[in-house]
Structure 1
Amino acid sequence: TSTVKRWLSRWKTGKYLDDHIREGRPRVTSEAQDNSIVNAALVIDEPTSQKVQHQLQKHSLNVSERTVRRQLHEAGLQYSLPLSKPLLTSKDRQDRSQWATQVQNLD
C-alpha cells in the first residue's frame, strides 16, 4: 500500500488525519545543564561555542560545541561575528570616480 492510498483510506473512513507526535532522540543534557550553558554564555564577553564549552569544562560539565550552539539557539541567543569590510582606499575612490565619469559620458 502506498502512502497516498493509506492517507486516502483514512480520509474516506473519517479517521483523523493528524500526524502522530514524535519524540525524537532523547536529550543528552538535563534542564539544569541547559541553564548552565545559557548562564555561561551570558557571563562571557563575546561568547563563542568554544569559549562556553571550555568554561563549562572547568566546572566538570562536558558538552560538545554543537550542543552549546543548539542550546543557545533554543534559548533565543545567537552569536555572530561582527561584519566588517575594508574601507575604500584613495586609489579605489579615484578609480571609481573615473569609471563613473566614463559611464556618464556614454549617454
Structure 2
Amino acid sequence: MTRQEDDNIVNYVREIPFTTSQRILEAVGVNFSARTIRRRLHEAGIHARVPAKKPLLTNAHAAARMRFCQENIDRDWTAVIFTDEKVFSSSQDSPAILWRAQNTCYEPQ
C-alpha cells in the first residue's frame, strides 16, 4: 500500500465517518482486504466507535416548551389534531459505527 492510498483512505473516512471498511474499499478503489483497511486506519489513530448518545432535550428546548405551554394554556385544544412521528425501516437496521480519532466524541461532523 502506498502513502497516497493510505491518505485516500483516511481522507475518505474523515469525509464519511459513518461507513464500513468494505465500503471504504469500494470507494477508494484499492485491492486490499477490509482488515488491511482497518489496520491502516488504526495506524492513523482512527478507530471504529459507537456514536455517543446525545441528550434529546436541552435546557433551551425545555424552556421553549414551557413558554409555549404558558402562552397557550387557555387555547381551545378541541380543534387541534395531535400527531406523533415514527420511523419505519424496510431493512434490518445494524448498529451504527463511525470512524473517529480518540477524544473527538462530541466534535461536529
Scaled by the length of structure 2, the TM-score of the pair is 0.42
* Greater RCO (Cα-Cα under 8 Å, separation 6 or more): 2
Scaled by the length of structure 1, the TM-score of the pair is 0.43
Question: Is the radius of gyration larger for structure 1 or structure 2?
Answer: 1
- Return the structure number with greater helix share: 1
- Return the structure number with greater strand share: 2
